[in-house]
Amino acid sequence: MAIISKGTWVEIEQIVLNPDQRAPSLPEETRKVPYVLRVSGFLIEDGQLGQDVKIKTIIGRQLSGTLKVVNPSYSHSFGKTIPELLTIGTDWEDK
C-alpha cells in the first residue's frame, strides 16, 4: 500500500456508537448500523488507507480514526437550477 505523507488533507472515519449502543426508539434499520463520524483534516504522521491515524482539523482539533480518503472533496449540491427562481428579487431591472 502507498504511504500518505504527513500533512496531507484526508478524511477519517470514527465509530461514535455501535449498534448495541443506539437508542431503542430509533427505527430498526437505523438502529442496526453504527453511528459514524467522518471528518477531514491534515495527517499528523504518515499513514496508509485503512490504518488508524491522527489528524488535525482546520480549527486545530486532534482526532483519530480510520483513514478513508485522500484529498476528499464535496459531492453535495442544492439540486438542478429552477429557471422560475432565477428572477426572484431582480425587479430592479425593470426600473
- Interacting residues of 1 by C-beta distance below 8 A, sequence separation 6+: 48, 49, 50
70 in a structural domain: yes
Q: What is residue 92's predicted lDDT score, i.e. its pLDDT?
A: 64
Residue 50 and residue 70: Cα distance in Å, rounded?
11
Would you put residue 89 in left (φ > 0), alpha (ψ -120 to 50) or beta? left
23 in a structural domain: yes
50 in a structural domain: yes
18 in a structural domain: yes
Question: Which residue range forms the structural domain that includes residue 73?
Answer: 9-94
Residue 20 and residue 26: Cα distance in Å, rounded?
12
Number of domains in the chain: 1
1 in a structural domain: no
89 in a structural domain: yes
Question: CB burial class (10 A; 0-12, 13-18, 19+) of residue 30?
Answer: exposed
What is the per-residue pLDDT across 25-38, written as a single tens digit (0 to 9) for each?
999 999 999 999 99
pLDDT, block means (10 residues), the chain with 95 residues: 95 97 96 97 97 96 98 90 85 60
Q: What is residue 63's predicted lDDT score, i.e. its pLDDT?
A: 98
The whole-angstrom distance between residue 32's C-alpha and the CA centroid of its chain comes to 21
Q: What is residue 95's predicted lDDT score, i.e. its pLDDT?
A: 52
65 in a structural domain: yes
39 in a structural domain: yes
Per the listing, cell 453535495 goes with: 76
Per the listing, cell 499513514 goes with: 47
